[in-house]
Structures are given as structure tokens and as C-alpha cells.
Amino acid sequence: MNPQFKKGVLTLCVLNLLQTVDQYGYDLIKQIGSNLPISEGTLYPILRRLKKDGYLTTYLVESEQGPSRKYYKLTKKGDQYARDLKNEWELLVQSVEKIVGKGEERQND
Amino acid sequence: MTKNEFFQELERYLDDIPYTEYQDIVRDFEEHFHMAYSEGKSDHQVTKELGDPKMVAQSLKPEYTGKMVNIKRTAEIVLSVIGLIIDVITGIFGFLLIYPESNHQIRQRMADAMQAGTSLSSAQINESLDTLGHAGMMLLIASVIGIILAIISIVFLKGNKKPKLGGWLLIIAAVLSFVVSQATFFGAIFLLIGGIIALVRKSKDLEPVAVK
């Protein structure tokens, strides 16, 4: 997959997963990684990027065993961004569907 | 690939980003490994799922490019090394000046030579040789101070670990060695410039400049 395209899709997934509930890195990554063919390590840079741009904040929660967990939380700006991206995505899917759908019709003729 | 190999690779590709950032990235991955272990996964499974550390590092890098490229501290380290080399040379000079004082044969020979060439009394010659020996001792001490502090600074500057501390140490090295012996001037000026650059460029690594 084209890296830029992939990054956009992954950003969309991350933000949408966080819209319902705060999550820690591992869980978040597992949910995406189990559905999409990605190198899970590349999601951490995306999370850092989103945090730097102010779409996410993080907080640490102590764990009884092992290192503390870093939770990711959407900011207001991030929530808005998630909606915008989702709208853009749906629009894109519809547009692509029109073209691809027409192609299939032509094949069927 | 084992966990250690993963981190080694990551470190290799991220050696020029701010150290605190690097530590935070390592923390995230430590957490990831721990969670995966608790699910009963092996090192190899986890590193396979994470993917190539080089790719991970490369996707982290864009955040630190632009103004962050100077974070290598090459200029500061080069200046420190030049100052260090000059200090080694002045240190050798200092040692050569002390040497006649501690070695009677050589001192006698020098005194004889001076007496033959001038009309100075042996007392005056002795005095000037003492002065020379004293100056040599100060020069040697000053150079050693400069050498030791410069080496410590270079360690701190390498990989941008503690640029602020490294910068201050270079400035202290320059001032201290110059106060002890003005003859270390040339070494001190390089250390001083290196130190100032290390401090001035510091502000940039606190706020990595985002590249869109």
C-alpha cells in the first residue's frame, strides 16, 4: 500500500477507535493490526504525530505488573478531525464505488 | 529478531533525535513487549508483528527533520576535538618545560649553555629556569583540566545526550584552563566557541519542528 495513503487510513482508524473510549497503545494497535495487514510498529509514529499536532493527549496509568500503560485520549480538536476524516472517507468510498461499479456494469454488458 | 536486536536496530536508526524523545519511544515499545508477553507471545512473534525497526524509525524521523537536522552536534564535537588536540600539544610543552627542573643533568647543561651565551650570573639563570619550570607546571595543569573536561563534554554531546551540560563543561574547561595558564589560549578559544554553540542550539531540541 502507498505509505501516504496507508498513513491516512490508519489515522482515520485510530481516531475513530478513540471516539468511544480512551485506550492504551497495545489494545489500540491490536484492534487495527488484527484487521489490516500492517507492521504494528508503524502505528506508534502515527500516535506520536497525532499527539504532537494536538489531536490526542496521553496519560499514564500505573499497572500492578510491568510498565505503566500509556492511554490515548481524543482532544476536542481530535474529535472534530475524526469526524472530518470520516466524512471525507465516506465521500471517497462513494465516489470510488461509482467508478468501480460502472466498470463492473460495463464488464457485465 | 529478538527484543534486544529490535531495540539495538531502533537505537541505530534514531541516534540523532533528542534523547528524551528516544527514551519515550523506547518506553512505548517496552510497554508493547510487556503486553504481548502477557498474552504468551514470544520475542520473535512480537518483533515480526511490529515490523522492521528501520521502517519504524524512518516513519518517526520526519518529525525531527527540518531544523532538527543540526541535532547531531557535529560542529560542537569537532570544535571540542580541536581544542582537545591543542590542549594535548600545550600539555606536552608544559611537560618539556618542567622536565629540566626535575632532571639535574639537563638543568645543569641548560644553565651552562645559558652562561656561555650571556653575561647572566648563575643565580639569575637559576631563577629564570625556576620561572620556566613553574610556568610549565601551570601549563601542564591547565592543559590536563582542558583535556579531561573536553572529553567528558564530548561524551555528553555525542548523540545529543546532555547538550546543555556538555556546553557548560566546555565553557568551564575554557575559562578554568585559561585562568590557570594563559598559554592555553588557543585551545580554550575552541572549547569556548564549542560550548557556546552547544548552549545556543539547545532551544531547538526542546521543540521539534513539525514538517507537514
Q: How many domains, chain B?
A: 2
Q: Are strands A56-61 and A23-24 parallel, antiparallel or unpaired?
A: unpaired
Summarised one tens digit per residue, pLDDT across range B49-78 is 999 998 888 888 766 654 444 467 888 999
Tell which of B1, B28, B54, B206 to mutate to test the A interface (max A CBs under 10 Å). Answer: B28
- Kindly state the cell numbers that stand for B139: 601549563
Q: Nearest by CB to A44, which of B35, B36, B56? A: B56
- Asked whether residue B129 falls in the same domain as residue B179, the answer is yes
- Asked whether residue B52 falls in the same domain as residue B86, the answer is no
- For residue B33, what pLDDT band results from cuts at 50, 70 and 90? very high
Query: Alpha carbon A9 to chain centroid distance?
Result: 6
Residue B162 lies in a domain: yes
Query: Alpha carbon B8 to chain centroid distance?
Result: 23
- Asked whether residue B90 falls in the same domain as residue B141, the answer is yes
Domain end among B64, B86, B105: B64
- Asked whether residue B87 falls in the same domain as residue B119, the answer is yes
Contact at 8 Å (CB) between B171 and B136?
no
Q: How many CB atoms lie within 10 A of CB B61?
A: 16
User: Angle, to 10 degrees, between the axis of helix A25-33 and the axis of helix B19-38?
Assistant: 70
Contacts of A101 (CB under 8 A, 6+ apart): none
Supply the pLDDT for residue B160.
77
Decide: helix, strand or coil at residue A64. Answer: coil
Domain end among B64, B84, B113: B64
How far is the alpha carbon of B211 from chain A, nearest alpha carbon, in Å? 10
- Asked whether residue B20 falls in the same domain as residue B114, the answer is no
Q: How many CB pairs under 8 A join A and B?
A: 67
Give residue B36's domain range: 3-64
- For residue A106, what pLDDT band results from cuts at 50, 70 and 90? low
Minimum CA–CA partner of B39 in chain A: A26
Contact check, Cβ <8 Å, B31/A33? no
- Asked whether residue B129 falls in the same domain as residue B83, the answer is yes
Contact check, Cβ <8 Å, B28/A70? yes
Q: Nearest by CB to B51, which of A24, A26, A40? A: A40
Average pLDDT of chain B is: 84
- Measured CA to CA, the distance from residue B128 to residue B93 in angstroms comes to 17
- Asked whether residue B136 falls in the same domain as residue B168, the answer is yes
Residue B69 lies in a domain: no
Q: Scanning the structure block, which residue is given the C-alpha cell 497503545?
A: A25
Contact check, Cβ <8 Å, A52/B29? no
Contact check, Cβ <8 Å, A40/B30? no
- Asked whether residue B88 falls in the same domain as residue B188, the answer is yes
Instruction: Flag whether pLDDT at A28 surpasses 80.
Output: yes
How far is the alpha carbon of B27 from chain A, nearest alpha carbon, in Å? 8
Domain at A75, CATH number: 1.10.10.10
For residue B50, which residues of chain A lie inside 8 Å, CB to CB? 39-41
- Asked whether residue B26 falls in the same domain as residue B45, the answer is yes
- Asked whether residue B81 falls in the same domain as residue B43, the answer is no
Residue B209 lies in a domain: no
Supply the pLDDT for residue B210.
43
Supply the pLDDT for residue B205.
44
pTM more than 0.80 = no
Percent of chain B residues past pLDDT 70, beyond the cut: 90
Residue B205 lies in a domain: no
- Measured CA to CA, the distance from residue B32 to residue B39 in angstroms comes to 11
Supply the pLDDT for residue B175.
95
Contact at 8 Å (CB) between B211 and B62?
yes
Give residue A23's domain range: 3-108
Residue B82 lies in a domain: yes
How far is the alpha carbon of A66 from chain B, nearest alpha carbon, in Å? 7
- Asked whether residue B52 falls in the same domain as residue B98, the answer is no
- For residue B20, what pLDDT band results from cuts at 50, 70 and 90? confident
Contact at 8 Å (CB) between A71 and B83?
no
Report the 3 state secondary structure along chain B. CCHHHHHHHHHHHCCCCCHHHHHHHHHHHHHHHHHHHHCCCCHHHHHHHHCCHHHHHHHHHHHHCHHHHHHHCHHHHHHHHHHHHHHHHHHHHHHHHHHHHHCHHHHHHHHHHHHHHCCCCHHHHHHHHHHHHHHHHHHHHHHHHHHHHHHHHHHHHHHHCCHHHHHHHHHHHHHHHHHHCHHHHHHHHHHHHHHHHHHHCHHHHHCCCCCC
- Kindly state the cell numbers that stand for A53: 499536532
- Measured CA to CA, the distance from residue A72 to residue B135 in angstroms comes to 64
Supply the pLDDT for residue B59.
82
Half-sphere exposure in the Cβ direction for B161 (13 Å, CA): 11
Q: How many domains, chain A?
A: 1
Instruction: Flag whether pLDDT at B153 surpasses 90.
Output: yes
How far is the alpha carbon of A101 from chain B, nearest alpha carbon, in Å? 34
Summarised one tens digit per residue, pLDDT across range A32-43 is 988 888 889 989
Summarised one tens digit per residue, pLDDT across range A46-69 is 999 999 999 999 999 988 888 889
- Asked whether residue B30 falls in the same domain as residue B95, the answer is no
Supply the pLDDT for residue B209.
43
Range from B75-84, B112-121, B174-183 carrying the lowest mean pLDDT: B112-121
